[in-house]
């Protein structure tokens, strides 16, 4: 659906070119939820805004649904933008218009539907986002979560193929964030909409994304399926985001390990393996004792996972490690 070939972007500031995105290759498949995470200034919004050409690339080629988006004329660009909806951190609603009129606006601008058809479409969009009872209200009369639902309905008005979300949940409390993410996941599933989502929270990525790109200083430093990147982060920036999501203080963790005897290992379980009674079996068979130093059990999108850091003492430690290595888990020996 989205194809970047060596796309780069520099902003011209007082006669100087300041790079914001280094040459970047990226493929996002139809129906995928693709996350972009990175610190402030990493180039996330720049990358996102290149997709609907709110920013002009300095070079490279961008294909959207097989079409060269870098070669479009004004009409072509208007068509492209109707196929790409966008939602924002601060919702960007028109305060002087009702909820229904905000959602109707892109349809009026497109000029393809009659008044009646627009009314019907707006009613079905508001039903879709659970706001049928709020059509005549003004944005100031809504909660943050409701405003973002209006933003989503408006973004979906022209029946786009792609939805771009720039920090769409950053202004919302955790519970409202969860409900908006759930709505995005539903829309993705039911409409097979491709979603590209920027966030600075790994937890948002974990809940809805299929793949993730980690950005640092204009470069994608790590990219892959969320389970891979989240459970086995490689780049220091990725590790920091994962630790933030886990509320782990890296220094604390190492201090703890200094006082622990035995072998230290980390086991990662995914899918059905999460529920298998592996620890007890291995302990019984090899005579090792284990203590749990850190652990978590949660879900990545719909797949359960568990990650445990263990210290092994006594018994046949090598045999235990062999048993773990042969089982349906990911084993890392930390010490």
Ligand X SMILES: Nc1ncnc2c1ncn2[C@@H]1O[C@H](COP(=O)(O)OP(=O)(O)OP(=O)(O)O)[C@@H](O)[C@H]1O
**Beta carbons within 8 Å of 297's beta carbon, 6+ residues apart:** 274, 304, 305, 306
Pick 20 or 193: Cβ nearer ligand X? 20
Helices (H) and strands (E) in the chain, counts: 12, 14
Of 2, 8, 45, 121, which one interacts with ligand X (CB under 6 A)? 45
Hey, what are 66's tokens? 């097989």
Using Cβ positions, the residue closest to Mg ion within the complex turns out to be 45
Query: Does 208 participate in binding ligand X (rule CB under 6 A)?
Result: no
Task: Measure CA 281 to chain center.
Answer: 37
**Span interacting with ligand X, options 39-47, 119-127, 144-152, 317-325, rule CB under 6 A:** 39-47
Select the binding partner of residue 74 from Mg ion, ligand X, none (C-beta < 5 to 8 A, by kind): none
Calpha distance 259→238 (Å, rounded) = 27
Nearest to 267 by CA among 310, 297, 323: 310
Hey, what are 323's tokens? 């048993």
Calpha distance 181→140 (Å, rounded) = 22
Sign of CA dihedral 308, 313, 317, 323: negative
Pick 38 or 139: Cβ nearer ligand X? 38
Calpha distance 114→111 (Å, rounded) = 8
131 contacts 146 by C-beta, under 8 angstroms: yes
Alpha carbon distances (Å) from 149 to 89, 188, 291: 12, 15, 46
Query: Does 169 participate in binding Mg ion (rule CB under 5 A)?
Result: no
- Minimum distance, C-beta of residue 158 to ligand X, in the bound complex (Å): 25
Pick 36 or 103: Cβ nearer Mg ion? 36
Task: Measure CA 113 to chain center.
Answer: 33
Hey, what are 134's tokens? 């709020």
Nearest to 49 by CA among 198, 154, 217: 198
User: Three-state SS for 286?
Assistant: helix
Select the binding partner of residue 287 from Mg ion, ligand X, none (C-beta < 5 to 8 A, by kind): none
Pick 162 or 329: Cβ nearer Mg ion? 162
Hey, what are 318's tokens? 């090598």
Tell me the sheet residues that pair with 18: 11
- Minimum distance, C-beta of residue 166 to Mg ion, in the bound complex (Å): 6
- Of residues 1 through 20, those in contact with ligand X by CB under 6 A are 11, 13, 18, 20
Pick 54 or 293: Cβ nearer ligand X? 54
Pick 45 or 177: Cβ nearer Mg ion? 45
Of 2, 8, 24, 38, which one interacts with ligand X (CB under 6 A)? 38
**Span interacting with ligand X, options 35-43, 61-69, 79-87, 126-134, rule CB under 6 A:** 35-43
- Of residues 40 through 99, those in contact with Mg ion by CB under 5 A are 45
Pick 32 or 167: Cβ nearer Mg ion? 167
- Minimum distance, C-beta of residue 87 to ligand X, in the bound complex (Å): 14
Of 3, 46, 188, 307, which one interacts with ligand X (CB under 6 A)? 46
Count the residues of the shown chain that bind ligand X, applying the rule CB under 6 A. Answer: 12
Select the binding partner of residue 38 from Mg ion, ligand X, none (C-beta < 5 to 8 A, by kind): ligand X
**Given the rule CB under 6 A, which residues bind ligand X?**
11, 13, 18, 20, 38, 40-46
Q: Which residues bind Mg ion (CB under 5 A)?
A: 45
């Amino acid at each position: 659906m989205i194809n970047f070939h060596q796309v780069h972007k520099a902003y011209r500031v007082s006669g100087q070119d300041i790079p914001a995105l280094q040459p970047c290759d990226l493929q996002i498949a139809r129906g995928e939820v693709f996350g972009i995470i990175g610190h402030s200034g990493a180039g996330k919004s720049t990358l996102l805004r290149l997709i609907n050409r709110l920013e002009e690339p300095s070079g490279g080629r961008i294909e959207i649904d097989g079409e060269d988006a870098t070669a479009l004329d004004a009409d072509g660009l208007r068509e492209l933008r109707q196929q790409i909806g966008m939602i924002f951190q601060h919702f960007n609603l028109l305060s002087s218009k009702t909820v229904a009129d905000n959602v109707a606006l892109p349809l009026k601008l497109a000029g393809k539907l009659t008044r009646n058809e627009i009314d019907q479409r707006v009613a079905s969009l508001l039903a879709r986002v659970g706001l049928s009872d709020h059509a005549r209200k003004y944005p100031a009369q809504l909660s943050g979560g409701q405003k973002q639902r209006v933003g989503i309905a408006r973004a979906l008005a022209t029946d786009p193929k792609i939805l771009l979300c720039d920090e769409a949940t950053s202004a919302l409390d955790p519970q409202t964030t969860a409900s908006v993410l759930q709505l995005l996941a539903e829309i993705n599933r039911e409409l097979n909409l491709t979603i590209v989502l920027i966030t600075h929270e790994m937890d948002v990525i974990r809940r809805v994304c299929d793949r993730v790109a980690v950005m640092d200083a204009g470069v994608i430093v790590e990219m892959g399926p969320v389970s891979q990147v989240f459970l086995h982060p490689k780049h220091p920036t990725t590790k920091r985001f994962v630790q933030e999501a886990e509320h782990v203080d890296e220094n604390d963790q190492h201090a703890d390990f200094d006082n622990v005897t035995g072998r230290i290992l980390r086991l990662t379980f995914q899918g059905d393996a999460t529920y298998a009674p592996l620890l007890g079996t291995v302990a019984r068979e090899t005579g090792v004792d284990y203590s749990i130093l850190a652990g978590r059990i949660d879900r990545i999108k719909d797949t359960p996972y568990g990650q445990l850091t263990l210290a092994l003492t006594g018994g046949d430690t090598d045999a235990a490690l062999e048993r773990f290595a042969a089982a349906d888990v990911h084993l890392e020996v930390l010490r």
